[in-house]
Structure formats: structure tokens, C-alpha cells
Amino acid sequence: MVYAKIGLLGGSFNPAHGGHRRISLFALEALGLDEIWWLVSPGNPLKPKKGMAPLSARFRSAVEQAKRAPIRVTAIERQFQTRFTVDTLRALTRRYPKREFVWLMGSDNLAQFHRWRDWRGIAETMPIAVVARPGYDAAAVASPAMAWLRHFRVPLASFRHGGEWSAPALVTLRFDPDPRSATAIRRANPDWASRHAGKSPRDQVTHRLIASEGEAATQ
């Protein structure tokens, strides 16, 4: 049986920008995926809450960037009530057993992957594709997580054209640097979130409404 292959890109998307879209479409093509899901996090335990826009605004910015692309935007972590990636990914594989998932992450995240809750559990749940980011490759290669993950490296060609995916598996993607960043966008436009105010958007995976903080979600 052939299952849909889905790439998962998680993050704050504070805000989403063209760099997220470009890297997603690159991974889609490189890995032979059917679509990408952007997991807009209610809150990243490793990032400060100060300066974090409301989930609904971040979600709308992601929907805007994902237009006319095989990208679906979801805030399913809020529905799962999970705070850590390992719990979210396990919940996803249980909820969608007829999908094959691969976790997408930048080399900047790989450099501090060992700080994530049960990072080995993440690697054992689904394959990981690491996208090189300038300035972080050396730290990623020298990281404690890479010391373990390098034993499970898979060539891109065999990963793309292989049969059933298994985990742990690590594939590395080389990508031209993209200078865009959410930090720079916030610095240039501190009020960016106000442009994404409005009615509650609908989750593109679960089809539930994404209520603003302090509001009750309705179906």
C-alpha cells in the first residue's frame, strides 16, 4: 500500500515568511514528498514568550505564505495539548496511521537538538531531514545528537527512491542560503501581527477554528 509522504516543519512562525515557503518547496522536491504540513506551535519551551504574537496571527501569516503551494497549515498541537515535539509527533502518527511523515529541521536546530525533550524518541518516531543553514554546520556536526544520529545517515537518493520508510534515519539536504528571518521582520515591523487580525482562521488539517488566546474554539 502506498501512503502519502508528508514533511513536517514545526516552528513559531512569528511571523511566517518567504524563507519558510522556499525551504519547504525545496524539501518537497528533494525528498519526493506529497505535501508539507507547517506545525504552528502554541509555544516553544525553548523560546521566550516575550515578543511572541498570538497564535491566530502567526497562523494567518503562515496561511498567507502557503497560498497556492502543497503546504497545509495546522495548529494541531493545541488540540493535542502537547508542549514537546516528541509528544506531538507520536500523537500525529497515531492519528494518521496511513501517512508517512518525515521531520524537517535546520542545522541550527540540530546543533541544540540534544536539549530537546527525548530527542532520541523523536528520531525513533520518524525519519529526520536536516537542511543545512549557513553558520551552523560546524556546530551541528559537533553536536551530541549528531554523534548518535550519524550512525543512521541515509543517502538522499536511497531515501527518496526507497521503499517503506523506517526510523531512525537521517538525511542531509544542501540548500542555498536564504537571508530572510522572522527576527529581522519583527525588527523592521514590530506591529506586523496587527495586519493578521480578524476572524478565527480554520485549521487546514483538522478543519477546526483557531481561536485567539482567551477565546473558546468552536467547530
DSSP-derived secondary structure for 68-101: TSSEEEE-HHHHHT--SHHHHHHHHHHH-TTEEE
Share of the chain above pLDDT 70, in %: 91
Q: In angstroms, rounded to a whole number, what is the distance separating the alpha carbons of residues 171 and 124?
A: 14
Per DSSP, the three-state class of 186 is: helix
- Strand arrangement, sheet containing 170-173: 71-74, 35-40, 4-11, 99-106, 128-131, 170-173
Residue pair 141/108 in contact (Cβ under 8 Å)? The answer is no
Residue 6, SS3 per DSSP: strand
Q: Please compute the mean of the pLDDT values over residues 163-191 and round it to a whole number.
A: 83
pLDDT digits (tens, 9 = 90+) for 52-109: 899 999 999 999 999 999 999 999 999 999 989 999 999 999 999 999 999 999 888 9
pLDDT (tens digit per residue) in 39-59? 999 876 656 667 889 999 999
Residue with cell 537542511: 131
pLDDT band at 163 (very low <50, low <70, confident <90, very high): low
Name the CA radius of gyration of the chain, rounded.
Answer: 17
Pairing label, strands 99-106, 170-173: unpaired
Average pLDDT, the chain: 88
How far CA 105 is from CA of 81, 124, 171, 212, in Å, comes to: 22, 15, 11, 27
pLDDT, position 46: 57
CA distance 124 to 101: 12
Say if pTM beats, i.e. exceeds, 0.75.
Answer: yes
